Structure 1
Amino acid sequence: MSNIIGRAPRLVALVFTLLALTFGGALAQTPVPPGPNALTGPNITNEQLLFQQLQGDVHGRVSIPDQRSATLIQPEGQEWREFRNGTLKTVSAASLIGIVAALLIFYATRGKIRIDAGPSRQRVQRFNGVERFAHWITAISFMVLALTGLNLVFGRTLLIPLLGPEAFTTLSGYGKLAHNYLSFPFVLGIALMLLIWVRHNIPDKTDIAWVKAAGGLFSKGRHPAAKKFNAGQKLIFWMVVAGGAVVAASGYVLLFPFYLTDVGGMQLAQLVHAALSVLLIVGIIGHIYIGSVGMEGAFDAMGSGQVDVNWAREHHSLWLEEEMRKGKVAQVKPVGFRAPAE
């Protein structure tokens, strides 16, 4: 018995040696699992290889009821981030710069579109108070939504160097609140416009002639006939109503996360929201140009609600004739009026 006790340390040492030789070689041959940091070496990989080997989400365990918070890694999120910060950002910047450059070139070559016959002494009611309210509640809320949305995409690049991180953080915080809450009057505005103007914005054969003549934008003295809204205005109307509805719907998916979809659906909603918003902004920039500095007398329609009769005769002749038949304007030709060439 004493001999066994005396030999115990040697036996223990022998067992540990055998274990080390047996499992040490196996451990040496076991590949090192991929890690997120990209270095070099046979057993070290980069982040992309890690995502490829995961082939799906990586989940942990949580004690709260919402099990979606257990998602630790979602490889598709990397693709979404690269598209948002790469392709989407580049295309958006190119589109915005492109429309502004195109309008500057158009203004430099065509100039302001004047009333060919000159302003008259007669005015005709074009839009009443309810119509102007629907327009301006939509327009004002959209402008704030557009600016605060663009801040999310380009603010870090453009504003932080100008304002500093602290001021940018404060501005973005208030901008986020404005973006969230002004979405509701925006939706109210497009709903009102749909109810008020949908019957005037159904495409018809007069729009074909208007499109062929490019609305008379590139030719002086030639204005195609149009009803209350011409083809260009109808395009803006449907862009705002239909596009605005999709933008609003996708925005509410983001505003109330995980109520209707999972994180993959939210990523898709964000891309749809951003892409359509840029298209709307580009279209509205053109609309603002024509309705302000681009065309004489156009702003009065949504300003006072009354427009010059000569302006109406040149740009919305069919609508003016209808208003005359209703007795809303005297059926006389103002001094200096020249009928458009056939």
Structure 2
Amino acid sequence: MNQFIKALLLMIAVAMPSLAMAEAAAGAEQAVSESQVLWQAVKEGATGYTTSKSEFHAQPINSYDERILPLRNVLMAPGIMLALFGMIAVFILFIMVNGISKLHDGFSGKLVYRWSKSDVAIHWLGAIPCILLLLTGMLLLAGKFFIEPIFGQGAFAAMMAVAKPVHDVMAFPFMAGWLLMTVLWAKNQIPAKYDIAWFMVVGGYINFGPFKGKHPDAGFANAGEKMWFWAFALFGLVISVSGVVLLFPQYVEPSRTLSLLALIAHGLSAIIIGAFSIVHIFMATAMSEGGMECMVSGYCDENWAKQHHNLWYDEIKANGTLKYKED
């Protein structure tokens, strides 16, 4: 009898782990099956209950077009880096080969009135936030791929902690500056026939070959400035509208796909404005001798006006509105 009891206990001891394993496997299989059912229901738009009143908050997961995120990562992240650092490299190389555009007759010492104080203020109201938005936007859009591997996760996290609130706050003065510039300056940015000739000789900024010494006609704004203005007006509008969608989703109540499309439109517009901004900054500072004075004091050297904006200079001289800065 004792032998029988021992054998029975041994059989039970051997069988118990097997039974436990079988029960665990059955439980796991049931959990997987329930998970699959739940996930399928979620993907099909199953809703639940929430105290939130937003249109989409009843859905556990807000589905979106999965093609959008690769577009952001593969195209836009390197795009913003090329728009900023690529254009800087191109201009540095160009200046090393070509040199800058000097005033052929030197500085006259006479400063001609060009921009009002309010125009100068409006320019910097849009320009300073634009630069900060481009830099912080670069971190937000491409930092994970290009900045974090260089500086490390901790340093990058600290950068992002600053970049995000600065980006959000600077959006408002940027939109104000964009609106004022677009409305107030459009009258001087209308394309004209002589703008074609300006492009044909690259604005007279080339210092070698058949382009050397060319001074194409230009009014208050030359053809390059007009192209920059209309690009800024158009893509600034896209950036502003898409930015509002991203800043205030609780009021716009977009779908996940609409939010991501706004992000794509925002980023692509930023890439275009970023490239134009680098060109604009280089042309106004390093490339054009005497050009920066315009947006510092509102006045430009008389020889600069004659060389770069001759039609405008001739017009104000003829109609008696030519005004010099008093000493």
Which category describes the TM-score, using the shorter chain as reference length?
0.7 to 0.9
Residues in 2 aligned to 1:87 and 1:173: alpha-carbon distance in whole angstroms = 25
Deviation at 1:35, TM superposition (A): 8.4
Share of identical aligned residues, percent? 31
Name the counterpart of 1:323. 316
Name the counterpart of 2:181. 193
* Distance verdict in 2 for CA 1:57–1:150, change over 3 Å: farther
Equivalent of 1:228, from 212, 220, 228? 220
Q: Which of 87-96 and 278-287 deviates more?
A: 87-96
Deviation at 1:102, TM superposition (A): 2.0
Equivalent of 2:280, from 287, 294, 315? 287
Residues in 1 aligned to 2:44 and 2:295: alpha-carbon distance in whole angstroms = 53
Residues in 1 aligned to 2:120 and 2:241: alpha-carbon distance in whole angstroms = 25
Deviation at 1:222, TM superposition (A): 1.1
Residues in 1 aligned to 2:140 and 2:222: alpha-carbon distance in whole angstroms = 35
Query: After superposition, where does 1:1-40 map in structure 2 within 5 Å?
Result: none
What letter matches 1:117 in structure 2? Answer: D
Name the counterpart of 1:241. 233
Residues in 2 aligned to 1:89 and 1:312: alpha-carbon distance in whole angstroms = 40
Query: After superposition, where does 1:104-183 map in structure 2 within 5 Å?
Result: 104-161=92-149, 163-183=151-171
RMSD, matched Cα? 2.7
Deviation at 1:108, TM superposition (A): 1.5
Name the counterpart of 1:15. none
Name the counterpart of 1:59. 46
Equivalent of 1:204, from 192, 216, 226? 192
What letter matches 2:49 in structure 1? Answer: V
Deviation at 1:152, TM superposition (A): 0.6
| Cα displacement string for residues 56-104 of structure 1 (whole angstroms, at most 9, x for unaligned residues) | 5543423324462343445535322222112222333344443223212
Q: Which has the higher helix share?
A: 2
Does the CA contact (< 8 Å) of 2:239 and 2:265 recur in 1?
Answer: yes
Deviation at 1:182, TM superposition (A): 1.4
Does the CA contact (< 8 Å) of 1:126 and 1:306 recur in 2?
Answer: yes
* Distance verdict in 2 for CA 1:323–1:205, change over 3 Å: same
**Structure of higher CA gyration radius:** 1
What letter matches 2:315 in structure 1? Answer: E
Q: Secondary structure at the match of 2:112?
A: strand
Higher relative contact order (CA 8 A, sep 6+): 2
| Cα displacement string for residues 150-207 of structure 1 (whole angstroms, at most 9, x for unaligned residues) | 1112223444455554443343223222211211111111122123211101112121
What letter matches 1:293 in structure 2? Answer: A
Does the CA contact (< 8 Å) of 2:42 and 2:60 recur in 1?
Answer: no
Does the CA contact (< 8 Å) of 1:57 and 1:72 recur in 2?
Answer: no
Deviation at 1:33, TM superposition (A): 6.4
* Distance verdict in 2 for CA 1:202–1:54, change over 3 Å: farther
Residues in 2 aligned to 1:65 and 1:94: alpha-carbon distance in whole angstroms = 42
Does the CA contact (< 8 Å) of 1:240 and 1:280 recur in 2?
Answer: yes
Q: Secondary structure at the match of 2:102?
A: coil
Name the counterpart of 1:277. 270
Residues in 1 aligned to 2:132 and 2:93: alpha-carbon distance in whole angstroms = 27
